[in-house]
Structure 1
């Protein structure tokens, strides 16, 4: 059973994939239970992520579903093996909400990460100074010790992008660039960091200008994730006042895929975005002189 009795993100992803293959094969859960010599309840709990299928069960299921692609079989077996693997972030678990742990788990597995941020600079691009200011500017009090732990976690999350282990695209609304919500010095440092990050081959930064407006349905920050060699969205995390929600329903994934594509089409090109950021940086320095 997943740690703490609740499905992990990985066990849910595995279960959803197995359910999709079962439905495509036209089989029901009682039939699958006969294949793996188990109860229908176990099949149901596997598909909801409450238990993780053993590799031998996965192989039997996929054979019954007519799935012969060795890469698919290997990927799902590896997902089962890693479902309860201890992530680097668990050493900070005492300082993290469960929903934030889910977000990090999804992010850490992703091969493609796309993010829309209309309020603050995305966490994967934040400097420590900006991160500290953003965390302490929130409505609730955060103890100094927890602030420092959250900054460490944010830095550790960025290591994946720094190493080039995922393709990352960030779309930022223009007010984030030209109207700092935080102190001006951290903001300048942050703009320089964004420009530097945008030079990396695996990073794309685009700014959505005022003139484009904000497409309907895309006013809240969200991130979408892919876990394979193709950028097909398989999970979305959405920020709200109560935390972060992980969305995996196919209709939700389609809606947010379309929303991001709409935002990307309306945003400035990466080169034009970099020019806008450089101009904002230059103006802030001139205003201070």
Structure 2
């Protein structure tokens, strides 16, 4: 059972997947309860992530639901086993919001991360000085004593996009004003631009800039991140940023909307090479202004 009865991101993902297979099979929760010789309440709690399905229950459900893909069962059983696994971020749990912990958990499990950011450099690409400026300017007051800890968490999160064999595939689309208009000190701004140029050279990182001229065409939604956990970039969770933190969307209709939104943004954005040229030009102009 998830610690404290609160669904974890992993237990919720497991439940959502099992619910989707049940619905495709045309079965209701009472019928699923008969399959595992349990109650409808247990099925409901499994599908909501409040309890974690046992391996025998997963096998019985998948068989009854007609799921024959040999890769599905071991994947879901691994997800069940890791539902309460202690990740590195839980060392900081007492000082972080629950929604932030959920986001980090999604990042840690993801094979693909796709992010749209119209106001800031994305967190996974921020240098420490830029991140500190953002944290200190947060609309909700953050005690100075917490800043160092939040910066440490931010740096540890960035390891997810390091270039390695099992690296996550990361695509970020940034609106042009974020690149062109500095919101931090000039020296921090230049370091930040130089960093994202280098990050964009990694084989697992794709960086694109959405020009101002293409903003209306692309629809310009607020910031969001999409997460996939399989070998294909099929969106399985989306996080939305707001003044109260972030929220997670997992319903199929929501995932479809944000998948389409990201595809539209990507089509309207400059390609990676043109984006890099734009950033290099902005960086060079900033250097020239200091001479």
The answer, yes or no, to whether TM exceeds 0.5 is yes
Match of 1:182 in 2: 184
Match of 2:60 in 1: 60
Identify the range of structure 1 (58-67 vs 262-271) with the bigger mean alpha-carbon deviation: 58-67
Match of 1:259 in 2: 261
The alpha carbon displacement at 1:62 in A equals 0.6
CA distance in 1, matches of 2:234, 2:190: 35
The alpha carbon displacement at 1:215 in A equals 4.6
The alpha carbon displacement at 1:64 in A equals 1.0
The alpha carbon displacement at 1:216 in A equals 6.4
Cα distance change on mapping 1:214 and 1:186 into 2, 3 Å: farther
Identify the range of structure 1 (212-221 vs 231-240) with the bigger mean alpha-carbon deviation: 212-221
Match of 1:248 in 2: 250
Deviations 1:42-65 (A, max 9, x none): 011101111110111101111111
CA distance in 2, matches of 1:17, 1:122: 29
Match of 1:153 in 2: 153
CA distance in 2, matches of 1:275, 1:171: 15
Cα distance change on mapping 1:148 and 1:200 into 2, 3 Å: same
Q: What SS does structure 1 have at the residue aligned with 2:235?
A: coil
TM-score with structure 2 setting the length: 0.97
Match of 2:199 in 1: 197
Does the Cα contact within 8 Å between 2:100 and 2:246 map onto a contact in 1?
Answer: yes
Q: What SS does structure 2 have at the residue aligned with 1:204?
A: strand
Match of 1:115 in 2: 115
Match of 1:46 in 2: 46
Deviations 1:181-232 (A, max 9, x none): 1111111000000000000000000000111124565331100010000110
Deviations 1:106-131 (A, max 9, x none): 11110000000011100000111111
Match of 1:137 in 2: 137
Q: What SS does structure 1 have at the residue aligned with 2:71?
A: helix
Match of 1:78 in 2: 78
Residue 239 (1) aligns with residue 250 (2): no
Cα distance change on mapping 1:215 and 1:104 into 2, 3 Å: farther
Match of 1:169 in 2: 171
CA distance in 2, matches of 1:144, 1:94: 16
Does the Cα contact within 8 Å between 2:163 and 2:202 map onto a contact in 1?
Answer: no
- How does 1:204-219 map onto structure 2 within 5 Å? 204-215=206-217, 218-219=220-221
CA distance in 1, matches of 2:110, 2:217: 26
CA distance in 1, matches of 2:163, 2:146: 26
Residue 13 (1) aligns with residue 26 (2): no
Structure 1 unaligned residues grouped into runs of 5+: none
Q: CA RMSD in A?
A: 1.2
TM-score with structure 1 setting the length: 0.97
Structure 2 unaligned residues grouped into runs of 5+: none
Deviations 1:3-42 (A, max 9, x none): 2222111111111110111111122211221121111110
Deviations 1:121-149 (A, max 9, x none): 00000111111111112223322331111
Cα distance change on mapping 1:4 and 1:218 into 2, 3 Å: farther
CA distance in 1, matches of 2:162, 2:138: 27
Identify the range of structure 1 (208-217 vs 95-104) with the bigger mean alpha-carbon deviation: 208-217
CA distance in 1, matches of 2:17, 2:208: 32
Match of 1:222 in 2: 224
Does the Cα contact within 8 Å between 2:119 and 2:175 map onto a contact in 1?
Answer: yes
Does the Cα contact within 8 Å between 2:163 and 2:203 map onto a contact in 1?
Answer: no
CA distance in 1, matches of 2:248, 2:218: 21
